[in-house]
Structure 1
């Protein structure tokens, strides 16, 4: 009897989600820094304060998105591992029953 295995798609999806979460950190930080710099250069202009506020307000949702992507990757990998364990246990049980 052939072994049953989890398809590569679930693990690939986990890897993609984790990678996206990891790659998002740099651009988010760069955007924060650039926004703060630009806002600082516009001191005295009404748009300067608005730009600074915009930069501060986007930190929370972008950080939450990054964390969610990483967490999703971890959960997908955990699901793939649980699925594999279950399938191995089933195959083992079937093999024992056949003998």
Structure 2
């Protein structure tokens, strides 16, 4: 059936791990790039591009921090969704194991 929706908690958990790993792995390269831009700006004092490089180093810090936070939050939310779906599946299975009373 084309309208059927299925959720794979293991896939959500794996995706959560990927998002959290990306959030951590992006930190150092971003920090290095921002430091390099700021350092280069300092070394090029008097050159027309110095201000632009300095601005690059400072202006990109907040958006890149926001990216890290968003990746981390996405990982956390995916894990919460996986946990909720797994719990729901178990609760549904447990409910079906209970003896059913006849309708009166």
- TM-score if structure 2 supplies the norm length? 0.85
Question: Does 1:56 pair with 2:58?
Answer: yes
Return the alpha-carbon distance in structure 1 between the equivalents of residues 14 and 47 of structure 2. 48
| Deviation at residue 97 of structure 1 after TM alignment | 3.4
Aligned residues: 94
Higher relative contact order (CA 8 A, sep 6+): 1
Gaps of 5+ in 2: 1-6
Q: Is 1:13 paired with 2:12?
A: no
Q: Once superposed, what is the RMSD of the aligned Cα atoms?
A: 1.5
TM-score in terms of structure 1 length: 0.89
Q: Which residue of 28, 31, 34 maps to 2:30? A: 28
Which protein shows a greater Rg? 2
Give the gaps of 5 or more residues in structure 1: none
1:74 pairs with one of 63, 73, 76: 76
